[in-house]
Homo-oligomer: A and B are copies of this chain.
Amino acid sequence: MKKIAKISEVRKYVKNMKQKGKTVGFVPTMGYLHEGHLSLVDVAKAHADVVVMSIFVNPTQFGPNEDFDSYPRNIERDESLAQRRGVDAIFYPEVLEMYPGNDLTWVTVDKITNVLCGAKREGHFKGVTTVVTKLFNIVQPDVAVFGQKDAQQAAVITQMVNDLNMPVKIKIAPIVREKDGLAMSSRNVRLSDDQRQKALVLSRSLFSIENGLKNGRPLLEMINEAKNEIILTDGVELEYLEARSYPGLEPAIDLNGSCLIAVAARVGDVRLIDNIIVIG
């Protein structure tokens, strides 16, 4: 596996691969890899000849009071995991390589970035869409894979790629969960054992809504029940639990078409998100 820190080097690597007739799959990550990320590698490998993974904790998608500094990092561990899963090249640039300091350009997606996480994390999606555009322009992949765990991010990236006619196919891979149901996240390592148990209320609430829907119970009633259960869980601070159309992210009243049920909460100082998509 190649380990590349420079933009010019990764461009050269990809150019070389393309000249050999190979297609390139891309998995952008912020590192501290878990099985969720590695499942994206599997999807990339299924759709492309070589897989480039980026590992870059992107400062522009963190707010001033968010956890950029405490976001977990361990490049040696990541390298070993990526290599074992069959990644062909890791691109892990320094912040100054990506942002030399005179940047004035942003890629923004209106409307669907103003709800859910976007309503709570000002500027977050602007940072995401801008860095993903930069990474796409650097790596020039044929296919890029994102996780359904960040459902809003998946919708925003798909919208951006379509609107700007970006020459890349987007694949969205399903959420990978721990055995007890907790959605995998690099931030999970920052939970204490007690917090880890309490965090299960998020996935449990989503599953119970999913089951209720199957049994014909009304969505809003179940959402209110789930909200109450989360609010009553000591040490868990609910940010939102909402049903919205997907990927349009309009407030969902009935269940015609795909419906996203998404939750965000703080467990201690760790912000967690989870979601399910149900088909009406």
Contacts and interface: CB of A to CB of B under 8 A. Distances in A.
A75 to B, nearest CB: 22
A108 B106 contact: yes
Contacts of A165: 7, 134, 137-138
Nearest to A248: B102
A164 B107 contact: yes
A222 to B, nearest CB: 30
B7 A160 contact: no
A93 to B, nearest CB: 11
A69 interface: no
B108 A163 contact: no
Nearest to A103: B163
Nearest to A106: B108
Interface in A122-138: 129-130, 133-134, 137-138
A9 to B, nearest CB: 13
A11 B168 CA distance: 12
Interface residues of A, number: 26
A159 B110 contact: no
A219 interface: no
A130 B163 CA distance: 9
Copies of the chain in the assembly: 2
A28 to B, nearest CB: 14
A105 interface: yes
A189 interface: no
Contact of A104 (B11, B109, B133, B134): B109
Contacts of A166: 137
Contacts of A159: 104-105
Contacts of A104: 109-112, 159, 163
B137 A105 contact: no
A167 B168 CA distance: 14
A7 B112 CA distance: 26
A108 B137 CA distance: 16
B167 A133 contact: no
A164 B133 contact: yes
Interface of A: 7, 11, 103-112, 129-130, 133-134, 137-138, 140, 159-160, 163-167
The 4 closest A-B pairs by CB, nearest first: A105-B163, A137-B165, A104-B110, A103-B163
